[in-house]
Structure 1
């Protein structure tokens, strides 16, 4: 499995791998909704952005993450970020995460469009498993993940420590290669309804 660091695009979004020219647009997209950052593992708003950005680029350099700016094609605005990360070629697996969208970009076409692109990219590169994890207290995120077609696999207790010091339980979901054709078809039907 070798997942290429390339832009991904459909009718709704363009996922652009992080590079210096995107820094200010990504900063502007993330510098909002401080309450939402409270349950994230690491913050990226305000004074936290520079360290987060540097860590994302370092992980990209190491080959363990592809961080993307999410550009909404209807107006050309960067409305958030998402990543393929924890990339493990030996096990042919990765995760989708570090996802944050501006409030006005939530609940519509952006998330399913991004997930369709990311899942397709991973499976086309030879992945056999793509995980999507979230905080166990984030029921809205869990509902969105299930709606994508991922299967719930359980909760990892005290799996991560958030930037606020809370021991976080993590809800684990996954799509495996056997599931992908049905998940892909479901996402394609959802996206067709937005056209």
Structure 2
């Protein structure tokens, strides 16, 4: 499995791998809705942004993560970020996460479009498993992941420590290569409804 680092796009979004020229736009997209960051593992707004950005860039250099700016095609605005991360070529697996969208970009075509592109990119590169995880207290995120077609696999107790010091239980979901054709078709039908 070798996942390329280029941009990905469809009619709704363009996913642009992080580079220095995107930094200000990404910061502006994430520097909102501080309450949403309270349950995240690591914050990326305000004074936290620089540390978060540097960690993302280091992981990209190590080829364990591809962090993307999410650019909305309708107006060209960067409305958030998402990543392929925990990339493990030996096991042919990775995760989708570190996803955050501005409030006005939630609930429409942006998230399913991003997930369609990321899942397709991973499986086209030879992945056999793509995980999507979220905080067990985040019912809205879990519902969105299930709506994508990922399968619930259980809860990992005290799996991560958040930036606020809380021991987080993690809800685990995955799409495997056997699932991908039906998941892809479901996402394509869902996105067609936005045309």
TM-score grouping bracket, smaller chain normalisation: over 0.9
Partner of 1:84: 84
Paired residues in the alignment total: 195
Distance 1:104 1:159 in 2: 30
Report the counterpart of residue 171 of structure 2 in structure 1: 171
Alignment of 1:56 onto 2:23: no
Listed as ranges, the gaps of 5+ residues in structure 2 are none
1:116-137 CA deviation, whole Å, 9 max, x = no partner? 0000000000000000000000
Q: How does 1:27-176 map to 2 (within 5 A)?
A: 27-176=27-176
Instruction: Provide structure 1 residue ranges, at least 5 long, that are not aligned to the other structure.
Output: none
Q: CA deviation at 1:148?
A: 0.1
User: TM-score, with normalisation over the residues of structure 2?
Assistant: 1.00
- Inter-partner Cα distance in structure 2 for 1:88 and 1:78: 28
Q: Residue 39 of structure 2: SS of its match in structure 1?
A: coil
Distance 2:102 2:193 in 1: 22
What's the secondary structure of 2:58's corresponding residue? helix
Please list the CA deviations of residues 145-182 of structure 1 after superposition, one character each: whole Å capped at 9, or x if unmatched.
Answer: 00000000000000000000000000000000000000
Question: Which whole-Å CA distance do the structure 2 matches of 1:172 and 1:104 have between them?
Answer: 27
| TM-score calculated relative to the size of structure 1 | 1.00
Quote the offset at 1:5 in angstroms.
0.2
Q: Distance in 2 between matches of 1:65 and 1:103?
A: 25
Q: Match of 2:29, SS?
A: helix
Off by >4 Å, runs of 4+ in structure 1: none
Cα distance, 1:95 vs. partner?
0.1
Aligned residue for 1:38, secondary structure, equals helix
Return the offset for 1:70: 0.1
Which residue in 1 is equivalent to 2:186? 186
Query: What is the rounded CA distance, in whole Å, between the counterparts of 2:135 and 2:34 in structure 1?
Result: 16
**RMSD (CA atoms):** 0.2
